[in-house]
């Protein structure tokens, strides 16, 4: 199975992600406590909000180097043989989604920091009236997140396919084990099956956490109004990502 580099990051980046979404969860709690106590705006909540913004900016900046690995991954998909054409097709679509995601996110980020200038009119549009730059940046961000949401949905489909394949392999191994009295070989097969099972379930947990986030950010009006949910989903994705990283390094 090919390891896809989509949104892969170092352990430190995952730690920053956990810190960012922990802050997002604490901000409304601190704000509510300050309101109940009648103390006015919470200084701690304001500081955490600023910290969360800075971390988000850093993580987006870090992803500016994400496109070359995606191109390499897309190329590797075609060179690597696979037993499942379904998985290969899903990987191709995922690579395409990320080849859309990264350039759009890069353009949105760089334009928001006034590093590049965006055209004031949309190509292939009959309306040539100049658009507001902030509107263009927002649209780029929304469309980049839609590409990411497509990737996440495809990953969940892929994991379901891999789960079915793993279960079929498990049944086959169980049948072979009943005919094979080699205890060591049976134990090794069970360990390998268990590791693959944990990897699939862990990846599913990460992407199930990302799914509502990406859909929420893909909609102009959002999926929900309470941003505490973003903190919960983001923290869950960060925790499961760090857990997967620790297991991979073990």
Residue 192 has what pLDDT?
86
Write down the pLDDT at residue 200. Answer: 94
pTM, entire model: 0.87
- Tell me the pLDDT of the chain (250 aa) as tens digits: 444 444 445 667 788 899 999 999 999 989 989 888 887 788 999 999 999 999 999 999 989 988 999 999 999 998 988 778 999 999 999 999 999 999 999 999 999 999 998 887 665 556 566 778 888 899 999 999 999 999 999 999 999 999 999 998 888 777 766 666 566 767 777 888 888 999 999 999 999 999 999 999 999 999 999 889 999 999 999 999 988 888 777 6
Give the start-to-end residue ranges of the domains of the chain: 11-249
H helix intervals, the chain: 11-37, 43-62, 67-79, 85-112, 133-179, 183-218, 228-249
**Do residues 153 and 214 lie in contact, with contact meaning Cβ atoms separated by under 8 Å?**
no
């Amino acid at each position: 199975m090919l390891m896809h580099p989509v949104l892969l990051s170092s352990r430190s980046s995952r730690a920053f992600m956990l810190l960012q979404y922990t802050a997002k969860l604490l901000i409304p709690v601190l704000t509510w406590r300050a309101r109940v106590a009648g103390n006015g705006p919470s200084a701690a909540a304001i500081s955490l909000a600023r910290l969360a913004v800075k971390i988000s900016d850093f993580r987006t900046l870090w992803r500016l180097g994400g496109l070359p690995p995606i191109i390499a991954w897309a190329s590797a998909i075609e060179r690597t043989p696979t037993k499942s054409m379904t998985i290969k097709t899903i990987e191709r679509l995922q690579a395409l989604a990320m080849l859309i995601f990264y350039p759009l996110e890069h353009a949105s980020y760089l334009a928001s920091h006034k590093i590049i200038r965006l055209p004031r009119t949309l190509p292939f549009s009959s309306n040539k009236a100049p658009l507001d730059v902030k509107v263009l940046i927002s649209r780029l961000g929304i469309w980049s997140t839609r590409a990411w949401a497509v990737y996440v949905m495809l990953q969940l489909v892929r994991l379901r396919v891999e789960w079915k394949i793993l279960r079929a392999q498990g049944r086959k191994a169980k049948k072979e084990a009943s005919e094979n009295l080699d205890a060591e070989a049976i134990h090794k097969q069970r360990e390998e099956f268990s590791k693959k099972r944990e990897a699939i379930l862990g990846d599913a947990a990460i992407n199930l956490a990302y799914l509502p986030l990406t859909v929420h950010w893909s909609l102009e009006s959002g999926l929900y109004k309470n941003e505490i949910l973003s903190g919960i989903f983001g923290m869950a994705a960060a925790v499961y990502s760090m857990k997967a990283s620790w297991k991979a390094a073990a």
